[in-house]
Amino acid sequence: MPPLLRLILWRLGTSLIVLIGVSMLIFAIARVIPGDPARIALGANATAEQVEALRARLNLDEPIVVQYGIFLRDLARGDLGVSLYTNRPVTADIAQFLPATMELIVVAGLMMVLIGLPLGALAARYRNSWVDSTIRVISLLGVSAPSFVWAVILMLLFAYFLPIFPIAGRISEAMAVPRVTGFMLIDTLLAGRFDAFRNAAAHLALPAFALALSGIGQAARLTRANMIETYDKPYIEMAQSYGFSERKIARSYAFRPSLIPSLTIIGLDFAAMLGNAFLVEAVFAWPGLSRYGVEVILRKDLNGIVGTVLVISALFLIVNMIIDILLAYINPRIRHSTRPS
């Protein structure tokens, strides 16, 4: 079996184990709710029979192990149960709200990589100079405030005082296009409406940047540290001894090996973004999974909570798997080793 395929299979296996662990954990958390979830869902006016019926429908009277078994059986059929909050299948709710959140996160992730890595490389190349100090302060500031603070500050500066960007939402109402993928940037392009695309992009800019800021800071700091470490490696001196240009050394000799540890952390930052999206969506009234997530949590909607957390964790595991495979591709040592590390 080729090493890369083996690595992929191995990663798939571990991810699956972890995902089952996550489902157990979140299932357990959701089932220790004090009070009767059925009663909370139906409200104080419901009759005892109604509550009993709902309890039966949710299998709440079974032992928790049996409940978990039923949950797994349904999950295998792609059924996450019915949300007590919307009265719709949780899968349908997630399918409706997830694309908006994904769009936000993907753009923020791109910003993180495209701004953070070059900033870090720049700081390392001019280390201990004013360039380095400036970048250090910027990146530390970036990670030092929760994304809702950045969201509020950015909104105040660039939507109110300097009205460059729209204040809230995903797209102006007049520009609405039919939903195909749920990704506004893609749907507007599918509809052939470039004006709507620009409009959607403008709506996306501030929330995505607010979400990306701490990731940009992390990525820059990490890339700087890794590149400085790489600069001390003998192969850099070897490259210098052959008189290769500084730019060539920075770009192909120092940056690429440094990318390897940076990418790993980017995976973890992505996890943080999945959570922070909740904060940014709240500030910019972004109709994503966050409002749904907060609602189901506040309403103690069992199926909603389990479904939302599970989908977010699965997303995170998938992203990390992609990053691992990417790493293996960049790092010949992994690609050519006989066993996965």
Q: Per CB under 8 A, which of residues 156..175 are in contact with another protein? A: 156, 160-161
Q: Which two three-digit tokens encode residue 111? A: 């910003």
Residue linked to tokens 């349908």: 92
Q: Is 272 in the site for another protein (CB under 8 A)?
A: yes
In the complex, what is the shortest distance from the CB of residue 174 to another protein, in angstroms, rounded to a whole number? 24
CB-wise, 174 or 298, nearer to another protein?
Answer: 298
CB-wise, 87 or 245, nearer to another protein?
Answer: 245
| Only segment of 91-99, 141-149, 178-186, 194-202 that touches another protein (CB under 8 A) | 141-149
Q: Which two three-digit tokens encode residue 127? A: 């280390």
CB-wise, 136 or 193, nearer to another protein?
Answer: 136
**The binder of another protein chosen from 53, 70, 143, 190 (CB under 8 A):** 143
CB atoms within 10 A of CB 156: 11
Residue 250 and residue 254: Cα distance in Å, rounded? 5
In the chain, the amino acid numbered 294 is V
- Let me know how long the chain is: 341
| Only segment of 46-54, 58-66, 69-77, 137-145 that touches another protein (CB under 8 A) | 137-145
- Residue 255 makes CB contacts below 8 A (sequence gap 6+) with 121, 227
Helix/strand/coil for 82: strand
Residues 8-67 that bind another protein (CB under 8 A): 14, 17-19, 21-22, 25-26, 29-30, 32-34
To 5 degrees, how large is the angle CA 103–CA 19–CA 297? 65
Q: Is 88 in the site for another protein (CB under 8 A)?
A: no
Residues 176-235 that bind another protein (CB under 8 A): 233-235
CB-wise, 45 or 245, nearer to another protein?
Answer: 245
The packing angle between helices 194-231 and 90-111, to 10°, is: 60
| Only segment of 79-87, 142-150, 178-186, 200-208 that touches another protein (CB under 8 A) | 142-150
- Residue 315 makes CB contacts below 8 A (sequence gap 6+) with 102, 274
- Residue 82 makes CB contacts below 8 A (sequence gap 6+) with 88, 89, 90, 303
**The binder of another protein chosen from 136, 193, 202, 326 (CB under 8 A):** 136
In the complex, what is the shortest distance from the CB of residue 180 to another protein, in angstroms, rounded to a whole number? 28
Residues 273-292 that bind another protein (CB under 8 A): 273-276, 278-279, 282-283
Cβ–Cβ under 8 Å, residues 289 and 83: no
Residue 320 and residue 317: Cα distance in Å, rounded? 5
**The binder of another protein chosen from 55, 244, 250, 326 (CB under 8 A):** 244
290-319 footprint of another protein as x/- string (CB under 8 A): ---xx--xx-x----x--xx--xx--xx--
Cβ–Cβ under 8 Å, residues 230 and 196: no
Q: Is 140 in the site for another protein (CB under 8 A)?
A: yes
**The binder of another protein chosen from 97, 253, 286, 292 (CB under 8 A):** 253
**The binder of another protein chosen from 53, 106, 152, 189 (CB under 8 A):** 152
Q: Which two three-digit tokens encode residue 21? A: 């662990």
Cβ–Cβ under 8 Å, residues 268 and 306: no
In the complex, what is the shortest distance from the CB of residue 63 to another protein, in angstroms, rounded to a whole number? 19
